[in-house]
Amino acid sequence: MSDQARPLTVAEYEPLARARVEPGAWDYQAGGAGDELSLADNVAAWNRIKLRPRVLVDVSSRDLRTSAFGVALDHPVIVAPTAAHQLSHADAERGSARGAAAAGALFTLSTISSVPMEEVAAAAPGAPRWFQLYAPIDRGACRALIDRAVEAGYGAVAVTVDLPLPGNRERDVRNALELDLGVHLPADQAVDPDTGIVVLPTLDWDDLDWLRSVCPIPLIAKGILRADDAARAVDAGCDGIWVSNHGGRQLDTSITAPEALPEVVDSVGGRALIVADGGVRRGIDVLKGLALGADLVAVGRPVLWALAVDGADGVQRVLTILRDELSLAMALAGCRSLADIGPDLIA
């Protein structure tokens, strides 16, 4: 893509991607649950927050570097796990992982990926990566996924706790979408007789204890929106709490990340890494997430849009836009480093 034709903003990727992705796949990626109220509110919630910029700070250079579980990161913008990247581009997760690595962004691979986790790791060797786990019903299969992730150099497992059942994605019902469950959930494993799905609708705190006992690398609970759940997950040994309403795809009218962050951050009290996602489309949204106490801020759909438009290069660019916008927002808010970004910036 020529420089002039390149999108300037994250949002500009959306219509370009829509023109390239098959309509049923587009609805799967773009849609949310029920009336899609949380989906819309995810973007609106960041926009509702007003900032109180600090002035007369020498911001001629800004330091965006941070770390996660001892691994150095160039900046706090990371990639959220999203399923089936093959729907967006033939390079699938190989392209997204390469683009993320080129932008210095940590990449989280979904269990429901189009490409085996080892191939994704080989596409961006040495780059920081996490594996998202949909815990299979069969514990042997579950443990095998964790062992493979460790072996392939994934630095943490993010177990998704907000999908006991899939939300009612009515666009997918209308389209009679049949989502391929990707390469990691073997077809021959146990299937829930009531729901016919392979993930665990009974997943509970005992299972989290079990996961903790078999997972030798940092464990993150993804999909937490309440102080009590966050505290309990940390007490169970989780090293990270991922504040998310699953991109508005699970319980419609769930609160958004910026609404949940204050209570979660307060209850975690620095005992775990905090990730936030949902509706992040500007570097200013990232700044707000950090000001509300997140350590890292993740994006889902924008990566899929950019992958569809321009493969790995697009993913690199969309993440670089967010990083550069964050850097400028820091300057204009009087912040020289991430440590300067605190709740006092929020009106």
203-242 positions binding ligand FMN, by CB under 6 A: 222
Closest contact distance (angstroms) between CB of 346 and ligand FMN is 21
Pick the closer one to ligand FMN by CB: 300 or 340: 300
Please identify which residue in 268, 280, 315, 333 interacts with ligand FMN, judged by CB under 6 A.
Answer: 280
Kindly state the number of chain residues that form the binding site for ligand FMN, as judged by CB under 6 A: 23
For ligand FMN, the closer of residues 268 and 298 by Cβ is 298
Sole window of 55-63, 88-96, 210-218, 296-304 interacting with ligand FMN (rule: CB under 6 A): 296-304
Options 75, 85, 89, 246, the catalytic residue:
246
Can residue 299 be called a binding residue for ligand FMN (CB under 6 A)?
yes
Closer CB to ligand FMN, 179 or 346, in the complex? 179
Long-range contacts of 52-59 (CB under 8 A, 24+ apart): 52/344, 52/345, 52/346, 52/347, 53/332, 53/333, 53/334, 53/345, 54/333, 54/334, 54/335, 54/345, 55/334, 56/334, 57/334, 57/335, 57/336, 57/340, 58/336, 59/330, 59/331, 59/334, 59/335, 59/336
75 flagged as catalytic: no
Q: What are phi and psi of 238, to 5 degrees?
A: -65, 140
Buried b (16+ CB within 10 A) or exposed e, 283-296: bbbbbbbbbbbbbb
The answer to whether 220 and 171 are in contact (CB under 8 A) is no
According to the binding rule CB under 6 A, does residue 96 interact with ligand FMN? no
Residue range at the interface with ligand FMN (CB under 6 A); choices 191-199, 229-237, 259-267, 276-284: 276-284
CB of 4 to ligand FMN, least distance (A): 27
**Residues that are catalytic:** 246
* Residues making contact with ligand FMN (CB under 6 A): 28-29, 42, 80-83, 110, 112, 132, 160, 222, 244, 246-247, 249, 277-280, 299-301
